[in-house]
Structure 1
């Protein structure tokens, strides 16, 4: 396993560095604005003042981030941050909780730790901003933009040129379906029924995003949740690298999600939706297992123990805590989302192509 870890991490570093060197963008951003929806994988501080246990506004989170501790659930930049850099934005897109009128012209990050497609997902941890609430917040942002730009028609055309990123759904499994003592869903629905229910709700939410003016939307599938250190510790693997039955459930969801992305493209010819395949991206070595030890010392909740000392070689870790990737892993995800290395990575096109449409 140690040898596999070295091979895997060497690959991560090579891919990440090569893409950063090759595709760093200079000059004006490729699109006028960039809006981010999702959960803790993209949260940049929206949960900081919420009454919730799902917070990352303490060390060792942010230890490698330029601005220090911000509420990002990793050691450095998130996938959304890195994609923003590739799109040419010189400043990080601000969280909705603190975004000023001047800042919202270039976009807003609505992401919220423990949030899900379903309203109740993550509720046992406290408050969170579900996807429905994030969409409502976007309505408010559009109203603010219309007032600032003093021309509703101009604002509508402006919004059509922006990139919209949606990375959500993990908590509908981790903090809902996989917790039958807290939520009834696993006792009510089969794995296939639950995936269908989730995707149908997500379909309606993505249609609402379209109705609000979005025309370039990158929809992220779920990663291999069964390979998260916290899920492995909780469920065991029966000698396998990951919790296979969880990954099988995620696969069903992803297949259905890809289908609705195709359906959205058929229903809305002027809309450009694309599916980002995190399962493909997170397994660049084919059948090689994802190394699972977290970089920081984690508590029972899978998050870093406050003020603990993380591993020194963070660039050689895939997971920072029990659930969230390190900046190195985020770099691979972001770069392969932006410029696909395989036809499996993005369908029908990667984010760099999406920006040019």
Structure 2
């Protein structure tokens, strides 16, 4: 029987893992460039200029980020930032909205808060850059790169060496399937059907990225949405630590996504796809769940921090910064275990450090 661990033990784990926050990779980056697709978990400022409620370019977001408020939906660095540092990039990958010609050779971040795999996802909050629109932006960046490098053959070979990270799908549940007053999907599909449809749509987008030259893919599964403070408050847990039926729905998606990664590796022998298992990485070491009280004690109705509100003092001891988004320390744990897996179930078939070497 697995021993029960006290909450203080989990805090010790978090504090111990803070050491990696000062980790610096010496030498040249392990890959020439790094492209990021996704939602608010990786958005680094693309939503700042959009007409949307889904933006984080205000206090208290960015309180621990080196450049201050940037549009990141956390107190400090995102998981994509952490992985970029572990890959050896000396600077953060720029958001598409502001990326200059001098910056794009090391990669671009296309992530957009409230974006989803489905085009309509997140529309109740306003504008967002859906995955399809992110792919169009990537095509534009490739065209700019090709012009700058003035050698299409060189550009094609260059792009094959880069890492392409995708972290998207959470909003297709949070800001779509779980909002029947705005979207018809929960009346159209069972949870099993929805997971299948979503992964089928995702598959086509990943193949598009492949056709645009990508060969090294990092595909993030979804975290346990039913354990987020906002969904717990909204739906209740019936005495359980989390909203179990939501986590069960997410597991269906993750299981199908992992199978897709297996299929893509089989179908595209010149490419490498890896699956990041957020459920494994975020699982507590025992029977006691990690604390899910948000660091921002004042939240808007949509789960974001109230502008100008005061966050908690000990941010390195909390998992969630607002109703949905992890703190920098949680992102650090996720990023480091994605880069070098601690458990065999963290990544499949191997971790990012191995992918970078192919």
**TM-score higher than 0.5 here?**
yes
Deviations 1:317-346 (A, max 9, x none): 000000000000000000000000011000
Secondary structure at the counterpart of residue 203 of structure 1: helix
Q: What is the 5 A alignment of 1:205-244?
A: 205-244=205-244
Shift of 1:61: 0.1
Matched residue SS, 2:245: helix
Q: Does 1:346 align with 2:347?
A: yes
* C-alpha contact (below 8 Å) 1:121/1:172 kept by paired residues: yes
The 8 Å contact of residues 20 and 335 in structure 1, kept in 2 or not, is answered as no
Q: Identify the residue that residue 14 of structure 2 maps to in structure 1.
A: 12
Corresponding residue for residue 78 of structure 1: 78
CA contact (8 A) 1:43 1:73 kept: yes
CA deviation digits over 1:250-308, x for unaligned, max 9? Answer: 00000000000010000000100000000000114143313111001212110000000
In structure 2, runs of 5+ residues without a counterpart are none
Cα deviations by residue, 1:16-41 (Å, 9 ceiling, x for unpaired): 42x456x6310100000000000000
TM-score for both structures, normalised by structure 2 = 0.97
Q: TM-score, normalised by structure 1?
A: 0.97
Q: What RMSD, in angstroms, separates the aligned Cα atoms of the two structures?
A: 1.1
Alignment of 1:104-253 (within 5 A): 104-253=104-253
Q: Counterparts of 2:75 and 2:273 in 1: how far apart (Å)?
A: 30
Q: CA deviation at 1:180?
A: 0.4
Secondary structure class of the residue paired with 2:219:
strand
Match of 1:259 in 2: 259
Within 2, Cα distance between the matches of 1:105 and 1:36?
Answer: 13
- What is the SS of the residue equivalent to 1:222? coil
Distance in 1, matches of 2:18 and 2:341, equals: 13
Give the distance between the partners of 1:103 and 1:15, measured in 2 at CA. Answer: 31
- SS of aligned partner of 1:252: helix
Q: What is the number of equivalent residue pairs in this alignment?
A: 353
Q: Which runs of 4+ in 1 moved over 3 A?
A: none
SS at 2:37 equivalent:
strand
Partner of 2:303: 302
* Equivalent pair of 2:104/2:145 in contact (CA under 8 Å): yes
Secondary structure of 1:50 counterpart: coil
Between the aligned partners of 2:343 and 2:18, the Cα distance in structure 1 is: 15
User: How far apart, CA to CA, are the structure 2 residues paired with 1:153 and 1:236?
Assistant: 55
Q: Which structure 1 segments of 5+ residues have no match?
A: none
CA distance in 1, matches of 2:348, 2:12: 27
Distance 1:252 1:133 in 2: 26
3-state DSSP of counterpart to 2:77:
coil
Counterpart Cα distance in 2 of 1:25 and 1:355:
14
Asked if structure 2 preserves the Cα contact closer than 8 Å seen for 1:16 and 1:335, the reply is no
Give 1:15 deviation, angstroms: 3.0
Q: Residues of 1 paired with 2:168 and 2:234: CA distance?
A: 22
Corresponding residue of 1:63: 63
Matches within 5 A, 1:327-338: 327-338=328-339
Q: Contact 2:7 / 2:288 at 8 angstroms: preserved in 1? A: no
